Structure 1
Amino acid sequence: MHKSIAALPLLAVAISAPAHAGEEPLYQPAPAWVEEADVQTVLSDDGPATLLYDWQHRLEDGVAWVYHDWVQRIDNPQSLMQANTQTLQWLPDKGDLIVHRMDIIRDGEVIDLLDQGVTLDVLRREQGLEQRLLDGSLTATVSVPGLREGDMLRIAHTISTDDQALGDEVQAVQYLPSEPWQVGTARAVMSWPADEDILWGVEDRVGLEQPELRDGYRFLTVDLPLAEADPVPQDAPSRYLRPAILRAGSFSDWQEVSAVMAPHYDAAAEAGSGSDVAGLARDIMARADDPLERAALAVRLVQDEVSYLLNGLDGGNYLPQSAEETWDVRYGDCKAKSVLLLSLLRQMNIDAEPVLVSTQMGDAIPELLPLPAAFNHVIVHAMIDGTDYWLDGTSSATRLATIGDVPPFHYALPLREGGADLVPMQQRDLAVPQMRMVMNVDHSAGVDLPALMALEFRLSGPAAAQMQAMVDADNPAMLQQMARSMAGQGNSQMQVSALNVSYDEDAAVATIEVEGILPPYFEWTDGRLRSSVDTGDQFAEFNPDRARPAWRDIPVATQGPMRQSFDLTMMLPQQGDGFSLEGDRQMEAGFGNMRFTSSASIAGGEMRAAAEAFGLLGEIAPEDLPQARRSFREIANRSLELVPPEDVTWRWKLSDSQRAERAAPILEAYGKAIEFAEDDDFGALIGRARFLGSIYDFNASLKDFDALIAEQPSAWAYTQRSWLHRTKGDYEAVLDDLQSAYELEYANGTALNIARELAYLGRIEEARELLGSLVVSDDERLAHKDMLATVAAIDGQLEVARQFIADAVADAPQSAAALNSDCWFRGLWNIGLEDGLEVCTQSIERASNAAAALDSRALINFRLGDYPSAIADLDGALAISPGLAESHYLRGLAKLHAGVDGAEDDLTVALRMAPHLEDFYTRHGIVAP
């Protein structure tokens, strides 16, 4: 047989019960059955520092013994510190810790510490109380006296285990380390009497010969480390990923495991009619007539009224405490909680039984050697009206609505008189979503203004129970931290103005309510205004790697169970007039064990979208992977866009009063967000400052940036404020802020802006000195030469300036950016216009976004007096980027010169967005007729 279980620590774990139970270590020679290693053959001053690991197991007469011999070379101070304190653990109610050797080998001499009277101290404090663990083990510890760097430390000991729960049965497991684990010499040996029926198993990748018969015993020997395992994809089922473990035991099959364990649970679940447990059952029956509702109430009682504590004392590793004791002390581990639940259900005449499960290796269980050690958890299986229910007393928030959910354990072993085989835990859809998100968005202010949001998350199941502690804590700071984590980053940042968390204990539902401000949903890209509609079906990439020939027959594990739902209602701008949906409005699709549904519609000035996703625990067979990939790609490539009409009203077209009216509720929300935020969280203040700038209330925006810089100065904040000073024509303040930004962050881009401001203020030499001091990368060369040209032109040295631009173009003759710099320079400084249009056209043809180049060519056409061509170019620029204030301004001037209607509208819009443009263009002689 070649089977398996979960990973174990390097020290072997032998599971049985006390031959000579003792709470103090014994100091005796190694048992006669141990074949002690010849340590002299493994001692070495080089190579791996761990010189020996020798594990030897003996299974005999229902007792499991494990002998461990270890030698470590102390190479350095860190190794000395680690090796100086040694600890050994054992279960005193099941067996003994017997120490055979504690030697220091120094310069070939053996210093016998046991012979010198060194002993181990037993720690009486339980080591795992903080993790709710009371496993019954004792820890013996010793600080090795006299250990030095350069020594070799050897410790050999044996632990016996005679487990009360297993009776005459026995089991042992030994983890088999693989390369790249380094050791001088290592082995694992498993032995048992030839006349005892012991079965053994190990993973298929470990090639072991049949046990060797010697002196009436059978021996399995494994030299370690094993060769490194072939790589396996991490999305494979657990049975493909499990480590190599050697197992042995006296159980013939799963039925025998079930039959041996069942009586302990049946006995522990017994409760007399006058017991408190029977009284609890009567109370439940008085509250509900329906058996399923009664079961849900029983599960809730066990989950909520009995705290978790792993109790391994007095055989507790496998023996459960009684239902009456559990209710009396109000704590217990999974065994105790399951026994209490089992007792309650049986008192109510509900068909129920305990079952063993594995929380980590579920899909591998059928391939393992039948041992109790294959499992690490106990739950209850109930049959009600012909339906299987898998009830976990150590979980949380189980209610009538969710009692049918199947936990992710794959297989269960029922514990029944006479025994039972493994039972697959058939998966089914969760009865209610684990998370439901309901989102209401008010986007009525406009396509280019922020949206107000009210978001509600409803969590059910264990995730909801975790939120109960937050509700009970009633800590505003905790809510602020949650809001901060939800805000996001960059342009997608949401500002939270209110957040509340509540918990409904009867429904076991946690509700998180969030209010806030979202950036506009709509984006203008390449002349198109669109919004991608997220209906909750955007999932991580599904592309399992099975390219290697050895992987092609490996399934893909799917996680679950999972169920989530999403509902969105959006109040549209302009009462929804002209808005439409393009793409797949309805979908029913899936891949593997995932399934999705979604829908979207527009009616009554609102867009509504809904989606639901289901996922089941399981796997995708190799032959089904191609279709699963295709199905995923179809879902991933699905698109749904919300499309506004062509005649949307941009914010710059609104009157001041209209804009103020639409902005008022948004500003009110920002005010609440600022008040709600933590003292060191300036996200909402930044958001309001930027919003105020975007609606052209520059004074108010400046006030917010003043406050921000006073509290949290940064290069970014100074740079933003410098632009606000520019709108007011305060160029000295612009320069001051740019210089403050540069002091905080030496960025060449900031230095170039400082040089420009110095030059326009007449401080030409300072500008040149600054530009000359910069270390410029290849990517920055164009901007640097462009600024050298600007400074020279401001100083009246136009030919020198033109040469800088020519050099920049020569460096990158095909660069749209370089060509546009040349085009713009010619138009701004009214020089080289003769062949300038050709340069501009080349830039337009090469640009991925031609708006800037079209604006530059329009300026040359303007200079040439070709106002219709200038207007045409500016129309093109604004068709690509409607918010270009410079293009609006120049188009207004061109219309004035051409006598075309609409000039005042363009000029008003431009100066609304950027009041400084008139001053800028005027100083360059670009003025109205």
Structure 2
Amino acid sequence: MSDKSILSASRISLATSAAMLVVLAAPANAGEEILYNMPPTWVEAASLSDVDLENDPSALIYDWQHRLENGVVSQYFDVAIRIDNPDLLMQHGTISLDWLPDKGDLTVHKVEILRDDESIDVISTGAEFEVIRREQGLEQRLLDGQLTATLAVPGLQVGDILRVTHSKTIDDQALGDGMQASQYLIQEPWQVGFSRAIFSWPENAEIYWRAEEEAIIQPPIVENGYRKMTVDLPIEKFKEMPGDAPSRFNRDPILRVGSYRDWQDLSRSFAPHYAEAAQVADDSEVAAKAAAIMAQTTDPLERAALALRLVQDEVSYLLNGLDGGNYMPQSASDTWEKRYGDCKAKSVLLFSLLSRMGIDAVPVLVVTGGGDALPELLPIPGVFNHMIVRATIDGTHYWLDGTSTATRLSNIAQVPAFYHALPLTAAGADLVPMTQRRQTSPDVSMDLTSDYSAGIDFPALFTLKVKIYGTQGAGLRAAADEANDERLKQLGKNFASGQGSAVTSVSLSYDDEEAVGIVEVEGITTSDFAWSEGRMRMSGDQTQSFSFNPDRARSEWRGIPVQTPGPQYNRMQIGLILPEGLDGFENTGPAEFEDGFANTSLKTKTVFDGNRMLSTVDIWQDLGEVSAADIPEQKRKVRKINAINAELIAPEDFAWRWEIEPKELARRAAPLLAAYDDAVDFADEDDWGPLTQRASFRAQVFDWEGTLKDLGTLIENQPSAYLHSWRAAVHEALGNRDMAIVDARAAYDLDPSSAYAFNLAEMMAYGGQRDEALALLETVPVSDEEEGSYASTYATVAGLAGRTDDALAILSEQVLAKPTNASVLNADCWFRGLFNVQPEGALASCTKAIERASNSAPMLDSRAMVSYRMGDYDAALKDLDSALELAPALSASLYLRGIVRLEQGDKDGRTDVERALRMAPELAERYAAHGVAPKK
């Protein structure tokens, strides 16, 4: 229980008041009947006179008292709540008190309503608690035998004070004369009128206590033959700790009291129960199972693995806390006969099997969370919450958990993240460290192959196989059995979401012998190669996801170590199939690399085999800590790893899609188009992602008719402004000017934003509807950020309408207002070049635009047009080469370069023109409208 779970006192129910005491002990005078009696004589009753009934918080009294004596723990609870509002009336109108009848009694002392000067004894009016059995954990296979006494408080009203006092006794069968009790110490700023916790025990009894040092608990005093500890609540709030600190720095404040001298004492007291429960007859079924395993193999580790698999797979989990079951183990024979049991029962059965096979084994107590703090805690049973078995084979300790799943020989050596264990031995044992060791088999392996046979600027076919081993993968067993087409499609959709991927098939399987769940996905995805610095590059850096940046800036944090996660071992194998005949790929990263930081180890290896590349990446995360003094060095290590420049750089002579002859392009595109067809067929009826991606691919390979067909289906089923605008561009590419305008108008109708308005106006102007285009622009609201785009569009439309002066005026106005804005300067430059209006006066704007642009390719293209108009073909060609070096797919620059080269008598300019028109067929008509066309 964390302090975040402690609400204001006004919201703590009477049932919760009982739950706040975490007492783990056992029964003597147990019973299922509720007792009604006076409080025990040792109780120090709290008084309402100690609180301000009117001004204190609604939580007036929370009083917890504990007496440990003669093997019995008695707990007394006193809670008084002022019912200030209907919400509190709802919360506290029904009292719920829980207890374990096989371990002790529940005694109700008083249920009292205080109303003004009146005191109403609810029990004396005839009200009685009703006893119900509520196994709230049945869904989690928990049966604890707890009973609940409930009472709907008759006549309770807003403004009343409800006070309830009751007590419970606990005498645990497993502890004998041993005792334990724990109290959560609520911290400020909890608001309460009066609250305390009292522990007491006979003066001569050997009782021990311990709490977190920061809680500052005063040692017990002696009163009337008893030692007594009193803690006023709430205690001062603990100092805030960094979230990545080990749990011993972040643990809740708890006062623990018990009769165990040390861990050995606790180990000795528990060991006989488990040794006895593990005994089975020679002719028992358990003995027969052990013999059958021994007949399969002589290897003791294989025998241990088979025994553990038997316990994990053939005995279901059920916590049975009835009849002393929370600490008392079920016998091995009963567990096998019933085929169910909790961690104790499963551990006893495994202990029995291993012992009969001559394997050194012992049950051990562990705690599944915060185990690093265990050595600092008081030795009581309540600090543990789980049991496993330690087997020692050839000097190596194996930590075997019968309640886990999918343990096989390959992963049996893995060490759970429990930190410490307490072996239960007749002689008694101390805590032993569960020392971590490097995993030799992965928890998860991922094998991804991307096929770029068609070309590195094409989408890639991919196959992905993910294997999830052990406990993590066991959850896929049922999923694989239940997998159907709908489930597999959903899995594929989840995988493809946001990754530019279209899935063609998904399979899900489980290999029970290897204990591995397998997910296999096939599909097609966008290229990971990108144009940068004049080359096509793929980032091969697998380390950028790593980070280690703990905050230890506060002075009080500077000595606190950092907890590192683990244990975990993941392996990635990333394969690339590169185009045949395209040699000279360069890998800038190291062929082999091994380093690490903060208990994370990284090992990579990259090899080439012909046109194939395979990179293997192994990542280990080890459970542990990084000392505060070592944090700076580990941060430097992370930066060093992340600084590795690992890229795959393509050779300079590769061919772009638009440089490939149509027949060859169709041949390369065919398998990719088939994959998109399969992805469309595989997808759910309402999943339009694969169809959208197929339309995009068809556009990439200049299949305009195919793109148009797919867009028609998409718009029919899920119309949007984006899709209409896209189809308008395709119609324009095909020369369908009227249809392009229809779609551009539909886009604007669906989303009357300025961007769609500008696109529509420009299309209308080139289609001859210039007055209508100008009228449209007059109605468009324009923000300050959009003024540059508006001016550019307005100038183009006005220029086409013959209103050159108006165009120049609005552009000049924008340049004057925003003399350093690259987009505005480029608009002025482009208009003067395109319309051949005073081009010699545009060069200054063009150059400023280039200097101020983050991406200067469009600006270089504009200046090239100005130079072309001025007859300076060399300057134009230089700018066009620079623009295409930055953005090779800039079809307008390629088209104009072809025109310039033809003007210079370079016949290769015809190739530029043809390639540009493959990408953007509409360029011919648009540029011709301005008198710009290739020389015949």
Letter in 2 for 1:808: Q
Letter in 1 for 2:261: S
Could you tell me which residue of structure 2 aligns to residue 734 of structure 1?
740
Could you tell me which residue of structure 1 aligns to residue 75 of structure 2?
66
Label 1:575 to 1:153 Cα distance change in 2 as closer, same or farther (>3 A).
farther
Label 1:523 to 1:161 Cα distance change in 2 as closer, same or farther (>3 A).
same
Mapping 1:768-787, distance limit 5 Å? 768=774, 770-787=776-793
Could you tell me which residue of structure 2 aligns to residue 529 of structure 1?
536
The answer to whether 1:691 aligns with 2:697 is: yes
Mapping 1:127-276, distance limit 5 Å? 127-276=136-285
Letter in 1 for 2:305: A
Could you tell me which residue of structure 1 aligns to residue 10 of structure 2?
none
Could you tell me which residue of structure 1 aligns to residue 12 of structure 2?
none
Instruction: Decide which moves more: 147-156 or 297-306.
Output: 147-156
Letter in 1 for 2:859: A
- Any idea what SS the aligned residue of 1:148 has? coil
User: Deviation at 1:830?
Assistant: 1.8
2:288 paired residue among 260, 267, 279: 279
Could you tell me which residue of structure 1 aligns to residue 657 of structure 2?
651
Label 1:267 to 1:773 Cα distance change in 2 as closer, same or farther (>3 A).
farther
Could you tell me which residue of structure 2 aligns to residue 750 of structure 1?
756
Q: C-alpha distance in 2, partners of 1:29/1:540? A: 63
Q: How many residues align?
A: 923
Letter in 2 for 1:753: N
The answer to whether 1:511 aligns with 2:518 is: yes
User: Deviation at 1:262?
Assistant: 0.7
Q: C-alpha distance in 1, partners of 2:20/2:729? A: 67
- Equivalent pair of 1:6/1:361 in contact (CA under 8 Å): no
Q: C-alpha distance in 1, partners of 2:388/2:618? A: 30
Could you tell me which residue of structure 2 aligns to residue 465 of structure 1?
474
Q: Return 5+ residue gaps in structure 2 as ranges.
A: 7-15
1:916 paired residue among 913, 922, 932: 922
Mapping 1:349-388, distance limit 5 Å? 349-388=358-397
Q: C-alpha distance in 2, partners of 1:5/1:65? A: 25
- Equivalent pair of 1:719/1:741 in contact (CA under 8 Å): yes
Q: C-alpha distance in 1, partners of 2:303/2:793? A: 80
- Equivalent pair of 2:880/2:893 in contact (CA under 8 Å): yes
1:124-159 residue CA offsets vs partner (Å, 9 max, x unmatched): 241110111111211222333333333333222212
Could you tell me which residue of structure 1 aligns to residue 11 of structure 2?
none
Could you tell me which residue of structure 2 aligns to residue 583 of structure 1?
589
Q: C-alpha distance in 2, partners of 1:766/1:41? A: 86
Label 1:325 to 1:875 Cα distance change in 2 as closer, same or farther (>3 A).
same
The RMSD of aligned alpha carbons is 2.0
- Equivalent pair of 1:382/1:388 in contact (CA under 8 Å): yes
Mapping 1:264-413, distance limit 5 Å? 264-413=273-422
Q: C-alpha distance in 2, partners of 1:442/1:72? A: 70
Label 1:275 to 1:153 Cα distance change in 2 as closer, same or farther (>3 A).
same
1:278-301 residue CA offsets vs partner (Å, 9 max, x unmatched): 111111111121111111000000
User: Deviation at 1:742?
Assistant: 3.6
Instruction: Decide which moves more: 739-748 or 386-395.
Output: 739-748
Q: C-alpha distance in 2, partners of 1:874/1:251? A: 86
1:1-40 residue CA offsets vs partner (Å, 9 max, x unmatched): xxx9999986212222223211132222222222222124
1:698-731 residue CA offsets vs partner (Å, 9 max, x unmatched): 1111111111222222332222222212212223
1:330-358 residue CA offsets vs partner (Å, 9 max, x unmatched): 11111111011011111111111000000
The answer to whether 1:702 aligns with 2:708 is: yes
Could you tell me which residue of structure 2 aligns to residue 33 of structure 1?
42
- Equivalent pair of 2:766/2:926 in contact (CA under 8 Å): no
Could you tell me which residue of structure 1 aligns to residue 483 of structure 2?
474
Letter in 2 for 1:506: E
- Equivalent pair of 1:5/1:368 in contact (CA under 8 Å): no
1:613-637 residue CA offsets vs partner (Å, 9 max, x unmatched): 1222111122222222221211111
Mapping 1:17-166, distance limit 5 Å? 17-46=26-55, 48-166=57-175
- Any idea what SS the aligned residue of 1:822 has? helix
Q: C-alpha distance in 1, partners of 2:184/2:779? A: 65
Q: C-alpha distance in 2, partners of 1:728/1:607? A: 40
Instruction: Decide which moves more: 62-71 or 443-452.
Output: 62-71
User: Deviation at 1:769?
Assistant: 5.1
Q: C-alpha distance in 2, partners of 1:115/1:775? A: 78
Letter in 2 for 1:809: V
Q: C-alpha distance in 2, partners of 1:769/1:69? A: 81
Instruction: Decide which moves more: 911-920 or 804-813.
Output: 804-813
Could you tell me which residue of structure 1 aligns to residue 626 of structure 2?
620
Could you tell me which residue of structure 2 aligns to residue 889 of structure 1?
895
Q: C-alpha distance in 2, partners of 1:107/1:484? A: 65
Instruction: Decide which moves more: 743-752 or 759-768.
Output: 759-768
User: Deviation at 1:809?
Assistant: 2.1
- Equivalent pair of 1:5/1:365 in contact (CA under 8 Å): no
TM-score after normalising by structure 1: 0.96
- Equivalent pair of 2:731/2:739 in contact (CA under 8 Å): yes
Q: C-alpha distance in 2, partners of 1:140/1:668? A: 68
Instruction: Decide which moves more: 336-345 or 507-516.
Output: 507-516
Mapping 1:475-494, distance limit 5 Å? 475-489=484-498, 492-494=499-501
1:723-777 residue CA offsets vs partner (Å, 9 max, x unmatched): 2122122233333333333444443322322333344445556545544444433
Label 1:465 to 1:563 Cα distance change in 2 as closer, same or farther (>3 A).
same
User: Deviation at 1:540?
Assistant: 3.3
Q: C-alpha distance in 1, partners of 2:831/2:90? A: 71
Label 1:58 to 1:778 Cα distance change in 2 as closer, same or farther (>3 A).
farther
Q: C-alpha distance in 2, partners of 1:139/1:286? A: 51
User: Deviation at 1:325?
Assistant: 0.9
- Equivalent pair of 1:850/1:877 in contact (CA under 8 Å): yes
Letter in 2 for 1:864: M
Label 1:440 to 1:43 Cα distance change in 2 as closer, same or farther (>3 A).
same
User: Deviation at 1:74?
Assistant: 2.9
- Equivalent pair of 1:202/1:245 in contact (CA under 8 Å): yes
- Any idea what SS the aligned residue of 2:839 has? coil
Q: C-alpha distance in 1, partners of 2:299/2:158? A: 72
Mapping 1:655-674, distance limit 5 Å? 655-674=661-680
1:487-535 residue CA offsets vs partner (Å, 9 max, x unmatched): 141xx4222111111111111122211111121121012433211114x
1:864 paired residue among 865, 870, 873: 870
Letter in 1 for 2:505: A
Q: C-alpha distance in 2, partners of 1:633/1:558? A: 18
- Any idea what SS the aligned residue of 1:924 has? coil
User: Deviation at 1:687?
Assistant: 1.1
Letter in 1 for 2:531: W
2:546 paired residue among 540, 546, 552: 540
Q: C-alpha distance in 2, partners of 1:181/1:769? A: 68
User: Deviation at 1:46?
Assistant: 4.7
Q: C-alpha distance in 1, partners of 2:110/2:610? A: 85
- Equivalent pair of 2:826/2:849 in contact (CA under 8 Å): yes
User: Deviation at 1:474?
Assistant: 2.5
Could you tell me which residue of structure 2 aligns to residue 825 of structure 1?
831
Q: C-alpha distance in 1, partners of 2:847/2:684? A: 52
The answer to whether 1:449 aligns with 2:455 is: no
Q: C-alpha distance in 2, partners of 1:24/1:761? A: 93
The answer to whether 1:499 aligns with 2:484 is: no
1:359-393 residue CA offsets vs partner (Å, 9 max, x unmatched): 01210000001111111000000111111111000
Q: C-alpha distance in 2, partners of 1:825/1:142? A: 85
Letter in 2 for 1:670: Y
Label 1:767 to 1:160 Cα distance change in 2 as closer, same or farther (>3 A).
farther
Q: Return 5+ residue gaps in structure 1 as ranges.
A: none
1:79-111 residue CA offsets vs partner (Å, 9 max, x unmatched): 332223332211110011222222333334333
Could you tell me which residue of structure 2 aligns to residue 606 of structure 1?
612
- Any idea what SS the aligned residue of 1:15 has? coil
